[in-house]
Structure 1
Amino acid sequence: MDTPTPPEPSAAPRRDREYHQGPVLMRGSKVPGSTTDQRLLDSSDSADWLHTDPWRVMRIQSEFVTGFGALAELGPAVSVFGSARTRPDAPEYALGQEVGRALVEAGYAVITGGGPGAMEAANRGALEAGGTSVGLGIELPFEAGLNPHVDLGVNFRYFFARKTMFVKYACGFIVLPGGFGTLDELFEAVTLVQTQKVTSFPIVLVGAAYWGGLLDWLHDTAAAAGTLNAADLSLLTVTDDPHEAVGRIVEADHAGTRARAVAPKHPE
């Protein structure tokens, strides 16, 4: 006699899900099946986009207005990137806390993506040190809300609007170990500096063992093939010491302030 196959475990009830779309919270049947970015970038044979895209532009504009309004008076700040998957008991989490704490002690607000893991660690270190802890959240199907250590938060629908805030209000980047999202943020920052789309600011990678293989590949393979300028690798600093990372930010920030003070004034 055949043994009956046990039924597969059912998915978690939709009512247990919590979803953030910009400032809006949705649960249960209200959770959408796709993200705003996915709908924006979807290409289909339908001509509906002729009617809907102009309204999307207004929504995109509102995200920039909201972000600019929330962060305009933030003061000196540093954006810290890292994996959402970093566990609270991992050494990288403690490293993120120390980075956040050291930045506040040096006079900076801390900006992260507002999620869990390394982002939460940096926000926690900043908040516990008595500084400003900023989280710039993003609508994703598998992450919900800002971590509890954010005291100034903005939720975004669109990645490109959020990325603008990371760059506009920071005078440097510190990058903790992370995955595709962290790599995306890292290489966008390097590209903006390398192409002089932004005023040069320091980019510090924390975790020599983690980042070493990537840097070796950039030097031994990409630079050797001529697909990037080896001199551009000097845009990246690598360290295992959170205080050295912050010191690099402070040094470059002060040098940039002095340079701007003596630069000739040009009419707009």
Structure 2
Amino acid sequence: MNRLTARETKERLDALMKDPQTLYLGDIVNRRGRCLGTEVPYSEIVAKRLLHTHAFPDVLKALPKVPRGYDFIAKDHDGTTLDPTILGLQQESRVAVALYNHKILGKLGKVIDYLVPIDIEGKHVGIIDLVTFDAETSTVFVIGYAYNEEKRETLLRCSLDIATMRNSLDDNRFIQAYHGKLVGEHGAPVDLKEIKIESAVLLLEGSYQDRSIVVLKRMPHVADLLHDLGIRLFVVGIALELRDKPRFTRKHSLYPYKPVLNYVPVLRERSIPVL
């Protein structure tokens, strides 16, 4: 892959601004390495441009919202899945279902839904991997996670992905859609008006993305962008290995089953450096 100059990097980013709702999918957002000449990481140049030229956090807030009447909760989301395969993106989807079946994710609270598609005016915008509710802080988390280490998505792309999903939501409509699952301890009712929505990214501890958090001190604009987007970063302390039975992992299996994890996931929150 040929290296790009800082100018070429900015030009490619600027071309994506015609549709901010899909900008996170752009190749330049997910480009790893350093620019030709300046040796500045591509992510740092992209983040600086998004902050200071495009005011991107404000652009995201003004995105079109999921329309009234949109059905967020799929009727078949019962913690089971069909046609699993051992490798690939379907494995990633099964991990989302397994985390739903695990129910509790530390500071993120109780998992109340998974793999929620976001579609606006007939256009597929993306997917929220997990939705959780922390009754203690009255917070609904919309979560994106990077499970497949081979994909090596940049931390910037993971963050822009979930920030885009979060800003495509009308808060009141989203909270109302899940009102039956937003309960306190022992089923106590909660005041829906007090509930807020936050964005989070869930990563594997020691993964490429987790290692990227450590070097945010050398990428201050990426850190600033994550702060301005309200992103919280979490890592899970064990590999998310599924405990599957062979007959359920045959390709084109006809049997619905509930994927579960081999180990209890231990979550830690990573701090974003303030520079």
- TM value normalised by structure 2: 0.31
Which structure's relative contact order is higher, taking Cα pairs within 8 Å and 6+ residues apart?
Answer: 2
Q: Which is higher, the Rg of structure 1 or of structure 2? A: 1
Give the structure with the larger helix fraction. Answer: 1
- TM value normalised by structure 1: 0.32
